[in-house]
Every structure is written in structure tokens, then in C-alpha cells.
């Protein structure tokens, strides 16, 4: 397999370490009292949801109302469905089908419920490369024959409207480049169904995306919208023990984005191996800008199907084990679904077990996924989606809701007590410590948390990046020391004690 990959990359140069180091200068974080909404949008911990099948069509979510069904036959991939429709209808007619779907989907979003009841912080919106600027960038790419349909359907206008509406509700938007040319995986949600993941093996595809498509997204969607919280440059990359192509593309994509909009988070896939990508992010010094996306499903693998539900729930603390000290993580997709074979082995009440399962996932995520989670998914053509649907999972109390409010009051006596506890523990243990650094750390953390709470009752997220930058600022102001571990412990203790509801 390694030899085969090597042959595929002979025609272009990739450094052994996988592309460029970050060349852009990131903007400095402001003091807590001056933090702006744009910063908090990009860092806060997310209680989010996916808008599955809005732009990237998936027939199991929406079929008859879109172009997915042609002559009674349902097509898995968007490319196949559109191509079949064009055999029966004009480009204008097919574009209207798509446009009508976008409009109906968006009009069905209950923004008041999302914001005031579910209290969602962000939407993850899957798009395909073929949607960007209404098909403008399709030259030499697989969707090129369908350009006119997207030019007429105007998905880019719909996305702009959606981002603007979300902004009015203080909801962020993660733009997820879900479909890449050739596919980052073998699934039809990449837009086409070839049975191969070709993207990372074709230089022209990767170059087109990081030189053309990503800049277009930034220039038209992110620069003027403070509530765009990041760009996900790939969805569910295939596992690869020697991911040379992935490293090359991620490095180039990260540099492209940061050169055009410094500080905008870049989301990559964990490739079903979280530690592999934490190590790479650390090696490349990308930790202050990159978030690693891991999808948590326990209904697809043979291993999970062989277990009963309670075993799966019990194992979550071990199986969702992101290295949070090395990088920032988000769970871009998860659900309440378990396979039928799992339910056949489970004797406990289904509703109660689903509640236990979903709550357990959210609890584990709160400890290891620093950028929070995005449930899959928001709405369906028919029904509420059951264990796949945000609304029923919220309404049954399975998914936690963020409390309302916008203020955080911390008893000064509690802080003083923690500081005294630290000093008492270390005094007399053989060194002249710098306990004032511990005090500085915890008080800085508290000031940051108060600032976040003032914007829609938000929590600090992206802990790895945030702490790293605050630490660097502190060293710049008060010099480095062998006792910086006291500041580290103080800041972390503040997060552990107060950065929660």
C-alpha cells in the first residue's frame, strides 16, 4: 500500500514533513475586557447542529422534494441524480428543483426555537465544491458538466442569506467543505460515487481547492461575517497510515486561509486516528489555529454491532479518548442511533437507554472535545428523524441545553480559598516558589470566562489554543520562569472550576 501511494505522488513535490509551516502572523488576543464578538464566536464551546442535506444532497434525509429521485429511482450521489434529471429536463427546470429545495429547507428552520429553546451556538453547514460561487470554479473538475444548473440554482446566495440570518440570532456558522473533487472518502456524500477516494492522490484537485476554491469562500463568505467560526477543509478523510497527500493538502489549505484571514479556525479530519493528527498538528506548530474533527458513531462498525447498548455506553470514556493536551477537537457529527443488532442484544428500555447514551456522549465530549459538538442532523423531509434528529433528542431531554443568561458571578472568597489551598500544599516542599503566578493564572481565567458569558452565556472553548496564547502573552509581560507551571495550574484550575454551567 505504501509503495502504491508513493507512485501516485511521484509527479509532484511534497516535503517529508508534509507541506509548509504556518507563514501568517496570527492576531493577538485582546484582554478580557476588550474581547469582541468575532473572537468569542471563533473560540466558544459549541452546542451545535448540522444542516444535513441542505446543499449536499443525501436521499435518506431528503429525496422526493429534491432531484434525488428520478423516474421512481433514488440516486445516492448528487452528481448521478442531477445528471439523470438532465436527461429528462432542461437545466433551468433542474435548477428550479434545487432552488425550491434550498428555499423550503431554509424556510422550515425554526430560528426562535434554535436560539431561545435549544440555545444552539452554531450550525455546521455541509457544502460541495460545486456550490462555491454558484459553480464558478468547476473547470477541470468532475462537476464541470453540471455548471449551468448551479449557476441558475444560486446556492451561494442562499448560503449568504443563511449566514446573515444566523448572525441576527447570535448563531455561528461552520462552513464545511463536505464534498471535494474526487472525494476524500468513498461515500456518496462526497457528491459522487466512484468507490474510490481520489482527492488526496491528485495534485490538480488539491491545488484547485487551496488556490481557487478556499480563497473564494473566504473572500465572499467569511471576511465580512463575524459569525463564520471557521472553514472545515475536508469531511471524513479516509484512514491512511502514511497520509502524505493529506498532510500536503492540509498544510497548503491552512496557509492559504491564514494568509487571507489570520485567526480563522481551520478544521481538519482525524482520519479515524485522533492521535495521528494531534501529533502532526503539534509537529507543525498549527495548534493555535487548527481544530481536529472526529465523528462519533456507534452504529456502523461490526465491532459496535456485536455489543449491547450498555456496553457501548460504558466504553465511551475509553473509546472517545482525544488527546486534549495536544490539540483542539470538535465532534462534527454524532447521533443517538445504535444498530438493530445492538438493540437485539439489549434488554433495557429503549427510550431510557437512548437518553443514557446521548447524555453520556455529551458528557464525554465536554471533557475532551474543546470546541464542542454538532449533532447530526436538524431536519428531514418526513418526520422528525427520531434518534437522528436534533428536535426529538432535545425535547426528550437527551441532549443538554445551555442555560439562558449572560452573566457569571464568581465568589471572590472561592478564588481566595483555591489560591490559599495551592500555597498551603506547596509551602515547605523545598523551594522558593512563585505562587503569585498561580494567582495570576486563575484570575486571568476568571476574567476571560466572565467576558465569554457576557456574550450569549458562552463558555471558553478551544482550550489548547486559548491557553497557549494567553500563556505566551503572560511570559511576554512577566518573563519566563521555571515556575510557569504555577501559572499553568492556576489557569487550568480556573477553567476546571468555573468554565461550566
One-character DSSP codes across 179-191: E-TT-SSSSGGGS
Instruction: Report how far Cα 454 is from the mean position of its chain's Cα atoms.
Output: 23
DSSP code of residue 388: G
Q: Taking the CB of residue 366, how many other CB atoms lie within 10 A of it?
A: 17
pTM comes to 0.95
- pLDDT at position 310 is 98
Confidence at residue 127, expressed as pLDDT on a 0 to 100 scale: 98
Report the share of the chain in percent with pLDDT over 70: 96
Q: Which of 78, 133, 236, 258 is catalytic?
A: 236
255 pLDDT band (50/70/90 cuts)? very high
Residue 190 — very low, low, confident or very high, per pLDDT cuts 50/70/90? confident
Average pLDDT, the chain: 94
How confident is the model over 136-145, as a mean pLDDT? 97
Q: Are 496 and 442 in contact (CB under 8 A)?
A: no
Q: Is the pLDDT of residue 3 over 60?
A: no
Of 333, 381, 387, 439, the active-site residue reads 333
Residue 413 burial (CB count, 10 A): 8
Percentage of the residues of the chain whose pLDDT score is greater than 90: 90
Pairing of strands 228-232, 73-74: unpaired
Whether the predicted pLDDT of 80 surpasses 90: yes
Question: φ and ψ at 218, to 5 degrees?
Answer: -65, -50
Give, in order, the Cα–Cα distances in Å from 113 to each of 116, 189, 248, 249: 5, 28, 42, 38
What's residue 20's pLDDT? 66
CA separation for the pair 32, 451 (Å, rounded): 6
The residue with cell 475586557 is 33
pLDDT at 4 over 50: no
375 exposed, middle or buried (CB, 10 Å; 0-12, 13-18, 19+)?
A: buried
Assess whether pLDDT exceeds 70 at residue 244.
yes
pLDDT of residue 458: 97
Provide the pLDDT for residue 405.
84
Reported residue count of the chain is 501
The closest alpha carbon to 60, from 365, 377, 323, 354, belongs to 377
**333 classed as catalytic:** yes
482 labelled catalytic:
no
SS3 label, residue 253: helix
pLDDT digit string, tens, across residues 88-107: 999 999 999 999 999 999 99
| Mean pLDDT of the region 295-314 | 98
Please give the average per-residue pLDDT across 479-497, as a whole number. Answer: 98
Is residue 248's pLDDT more than 90?
yes
Check residue 421 and give its pLDDT.
Answer: 97
Q: For residue 64, what is its C-alpha cell? A: 422526493
Structure confidence by residue, pLDDT tens digits, 376-432: 999 999 999 999 999 999 999 999 999 988 778 899 999 999 999 999 999 989 778
166-175, 181-190, 307-316: segment of lowest average pLDDT: 181-190
Q: Is 452 left (phi over 0), alpha (psi -120 to 50) or beta?
A: alpha
Q: Would the pLDDT of 223 be above 60?
A: yes
pLDDT at 2 over 70: no
- The pLDDT value recorded for residue 14 is 41
Beta bridge partners of 231: 175, 266
Is the confidence at residue 19, as pLDDT, over 70?
A: no
**Nearest Cα residue to 259 out of 463, 473, 466, 21:** 21
Per-residue pLDDT reduced to its tens digit, 347-363: 999 999 999 999 999 99
Beta carbons within 8 Å of 268's beta carbon, 6+ residues apart: 232, 233, 234, 237, 250, 277, 290, 291, 292, 293
Higher per-residue confidence, 432 vs 273: 273
Report the sign of the C-alpha dihedral through residues 274, 276, 279, 283, in that order. negative
CA–CA distance, 234 with 229 (Å, rounded to integer): 16
Amino acid at each position: 500500500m505504501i509503495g502504491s501511494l508513493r507512485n501516485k505522488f511521484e509527479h509532484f513535490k511534497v516535503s517529508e514533513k508534509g507541506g509548509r509551516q504556518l507563514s501568517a502572523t496570527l492576531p493577538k488576543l485582546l484582554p478580557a475586557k476588550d474581547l469582541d464578538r468575532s473572537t468569542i464566536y471563533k473560540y466558544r464551546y459549541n452546542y451545535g447542529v448540522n444542516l444535513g442535506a441542505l446543499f449536499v444532497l443525501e436521499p435518506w434525509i431528503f429525496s422526493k422534494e429534491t432531484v434525488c429521485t428520478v423516474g421512481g429511482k433514488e440516486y445516492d450521489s448528487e452528481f448521478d441524480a442531477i445528471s439523470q434529471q438532465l436527461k429528462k429536463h432542461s437545466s433551468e427546470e433542474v435548477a428550479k428543483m434545487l432552488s425550491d429545495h434550498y428555499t423550503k429547507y431554509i424556510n422550515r428552520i425554526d430560528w426562535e426555537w434554535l436560539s431561545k429553546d435549544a440555545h444552539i451556538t452554531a450550525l455546521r453547514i455541509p457544502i460541495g465544491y460545486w456550490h462555491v460561487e454558484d459553480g464558478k470554479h468547476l473547470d477541470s473538475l468532475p462537476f464541470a458538466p453540471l455548471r449551468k444548473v448551479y449557476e441558475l440554482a444560486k446556492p451561494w446566495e442562499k448560503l449568504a442569506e443563511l449566514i446573515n440570518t444566523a448572525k441576527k440570532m447570535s448563531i455561528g456558522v461552520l462552513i464545511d467543505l463536505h464534498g471535494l473533487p474526487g472525494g476524500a472518502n468513498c461515500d456518496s456524500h462526497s457528491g459522487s460515487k466512484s468507490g474510490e477516494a481520489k482527492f488526496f492522490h491528485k495534485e490538480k484537485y488539491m491545488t484547485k481547492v487551496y488556490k481557487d476554491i478556499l480563497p473564494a469562500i473566504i473572500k465572499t463568505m467569511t471576511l465580512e461575517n463575524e459569525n463564520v467560526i471557521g472553514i472545515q477543509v475536508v469531511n471524513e478523510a479516509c484512514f491512511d497510515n502514511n497520509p502524505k497527500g493529506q498532510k500536503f493538502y492540509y498544510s497548503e489549505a491552512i496557509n492559504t486561509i491564514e494568509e487571507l484571514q489570520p485567526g480563522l479556525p481551520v478544521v481538519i479530519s482525524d482520519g479515524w486516528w485522533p492521535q495521528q493528527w494531534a501529533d502532526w498538528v503539534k509537529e507543525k506548530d498549527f495548534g493555535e489555529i487548527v481544530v481536529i474533527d472526529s465523528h462519533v458513531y456507534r452504529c456502523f462498525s461490526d465491532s459496535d454491532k456485536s455489543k449491547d447498548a450498555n456496553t457501548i455506553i460504558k466504553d465511551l470514556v475509553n473509546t472517545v479518548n482525544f488527546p486534549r493536551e495536544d490539540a483542539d477537537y470538535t465532534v462534527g457529527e454524532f447521533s443517538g442511533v445504535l444498530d438493530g443488532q445492538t438493540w437485539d442484544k439489549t434488554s433495557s428500555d429503549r427510550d431510557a437507554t437512548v437518553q443514557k447514551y446521548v447524555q453520556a456522549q455529551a458528557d464525554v465530549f465536554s471533557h475532551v472535545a474543546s470546541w464542542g459538538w454538532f449533532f447530526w442532523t436538524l431536519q428531514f423531509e418526513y418526520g422528525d428523524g427520531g434518534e437522528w434528529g436534533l428536535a426529538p433528542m432535545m425535547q426528550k431531554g437527551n441532549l443538554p441545553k445551555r442555560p439562558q443568561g449572560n452573566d457569571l458571578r464568581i465568589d471572590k472568597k472561592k478564588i481566595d480559598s483555591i489560591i490559599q489551598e495551592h500555597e498551603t500544599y506547596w509551602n515547605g516542599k523545598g523551594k522558593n516558589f512563585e505562587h503569585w503566578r498561580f494567582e495570576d493564572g486563575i484570575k486571568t481565567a476568571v476574567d476571560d470566562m466572565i467576558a465569554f458569558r457576557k456574550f450569549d452565556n458562552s463558555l471558553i472553548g478551544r482550550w489548547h489554543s486559548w491557553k497557549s496564547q494567553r500563556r505566551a502573552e503572560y511570559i511576554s509581560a512577566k518573563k519566563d520562569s521555571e515556575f510557569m507551571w504555577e501559572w499553568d495550574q492556576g489557569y487550568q484550575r480556573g477553567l476546571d472550576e468555573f468554565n461550566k454551567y
